[in-house]
């Protein structure tokens, strides 16, 4: 099983987050990511960067679905 690693662009974004933004992002983590953070297999910064990337991917998918729905109407 391959462990997802944080991309440099997302690591940079994660370093610029405020403490409150970091907490909000960490609170939205799901799946194996929180467990990896708890077991210290990931640093907090890496977990934040991976979560940012996941949310960007999800947003892109949502936008595609919305665009597709609008095109059908």
1 lies in some domain: no
Q: Is 36 exposed, middle or buried (0-12, 13-18, 19+ CB in 10 A)?
A: middle
Domain span at 53: 8-72
23 lies in some domain: yes
Q: How many domains does the chain have?
A: 1
2 lies in some domain: no
Whole-model pTM: value is 0.84
3 lies in some domain: no
49 lies in some domain: yes
Whole-angstrom distance, CA of residue 47 vs CA of residue 62: 22
60 lies in some domain: yes
**Treating both helix axes as pointing N-terminal to C-terminal, what angle do 44-72 and 19-27 enclose, rounded to 10 degrees?**
70
pLDDT tens track, the chain, 73 positions: 456 789 999 999 999 999 999 999 999 999 889 898 888 889 999 999 999 999 999 999 999 999 999 998 7
Polymer length of the chain: 73
33 lies in some domain: yes
65 lies in some domain: yes
Are residues 52 and 25 in contact, defined by beta-carbon separation less than 8 angstroms?
A: yes
């Amino acid at each position: 099983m391959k462990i997802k690693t944080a991309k440099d662009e997302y690591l940079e974004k994660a370093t610029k987050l405020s403490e409150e933004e970091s907490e909000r992002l960490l609170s939205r983590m799901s799946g194996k990511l929180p467990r990896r953070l708890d077991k210290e297999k990931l640093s907090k910064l890496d977990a934040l960067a991976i979560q940012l990337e996941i949310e960007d991917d999800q947003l892109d998918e949502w936008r595609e679905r919305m665009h597709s729905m609008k095109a059908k109407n």
